[in-house]
Amino acid sequence: MVTIKSQKEIEKMREACKVTALVYQEIEKYIRPGITTMDLDKFAENIIKENGGIPAQKGYPSGQKGVPNFPATLCVSINDEIIHGIPSNRRVIKNGDVVSVDLVVYKNGFNGDAARTYIVGNASPEKQKLVDVTRQAFFEGISYAVKGNRIGDISHAIGEYVQKNGYNVVKEFQGHGIGEEMHEDPGIPNYGKAGRGIRLEPGMTLAIEPMVIAGKPKICVLDDGWTIVTEDESLSAHYENTILITEKQPEILTLL
């Protein structure tokens, strides 16, 4: 069931989303070659706790038999890793790495969800274009996130823009509603036909998240049961924000 948030609930969500945005503001200054993905994870967790939040992904159930709950604050995915990479003291970030970070903060009973992709150190034109297209795909999608439009309008805009630029979207994972639960209805694919799906109403809060692959749109799951990688080892990128549907233009809650 899709939940319509009250003004009081929206204000609580703003607080969770503000902390999420603050973490990314600080990560952008901190991330560099030579640190481990666990360094990044601990850095983010400290900021969250200092601002009264809880790392919502830590301990999140996998839903798969034999796969443990997610053990960290951040999902940190490098190069061909698309999403759900598990931080480790053994994984050192190198110059030129494409690093996608996904984070959910829980505060005041509500969640704020966002993802960013960073090119650490030297950025080749190839890598920069992938990251830029992924980010812009989000904005192409939310240009249709207005009262009266449908979920499919967002999905179609994202998928069309990505394909036009020579890339592919991940079809097995999608955006989602968000609020008191990290994942709520509706599901929001990054491809599809315009004019399909539920109508957008003021008070809906949605996590829109293009996940883009430079190569073929085939994925694999690593043995840890969490990390999703490209089958052909091509690069990938991820960009996400939590947004609010209003009477006019959508409001991005996870940007400062």
Residue partners of 42: CB distance under 8 A and separation at least 6: 73
What is residue 48's predicted lDDT score, i.e. its pLDDT? 98
- Residue 255 counted as domain residue: no
Across residues 161-176, what is the average pLDDT? 98
CA nearest neighbour of 163 among 132, 138, 129, 137: 137
What is the amino acid identity at position 219? I
Tokens found for residue 121: 């150190």
Q: Characterize the bridge pairing of strands 168-169 and 251-252.
A: unpaired
For the chain, how many structural domains are there in total? 1
pLDDT band for position 173 (50/70/90)?
A: very high
Q: Does residue 96 come out as left (phi exceeding 0), alpha (psi in the -120 to 50 range) or beta?
A: left
- Residue 73 counted as domain residue: yes
- Residue 254 counted as domain residue: no
Q: Does residue 225 come out as left (phi exceeding 0), alpha (psi in the -120 to 50 range) or beta?
A: left
Q: Which domain holds residue 242?
A: 7-249
Query: In angstroms, rounded to a whole number, what is the distance separating the alpha carbons of residues 14 and 78?
Result: 29
What is residue 161's predicted lDDT score, i.e. its pLDDT? 98
Query: In angstroms, rounded to a whole number, what is the distance separating the alpha carbons of residues 166 and 229?
Result: 19
- Residue 2 counted as domain residue: no
Query: In angstroms, rounded to a whole number, what is the distance separating the alpha carbons of residues 106 and 116?
Result: 18
- Residue 80 counted as domain residue: yes
The pTM of this model reads: 0.97
Share of the chain above pLDDT 70, in %: 100
What is residue 4's predicted lDDT score, i.e. its pLDDT? 98
CA nearest neighbour of 168 among 236, 119, 110: 236
pLDDT band for position 149 (50/70/90)?
A: very high
What is residue 200's predicted lDDT score, i.e. its pLDDT? 98
What is the amino acid identity at position 136? Q
Share of the chain above pLDDT 90, in %: 99
For 198-207, the pLDDT digits (tens) are: 999 999 999 9
- CATH number of the domain that residue 198 is part of: 3.90.230.10
What is residue 192's predicted lDDT score, i.e. its pLDDT? 97
Helix (H, G, I), strand (E, B), or coil: what is residue 192?
Answer: coil
- Residue 51 counted as domain residue: yes
- Residue 256 counted as domain residue: no
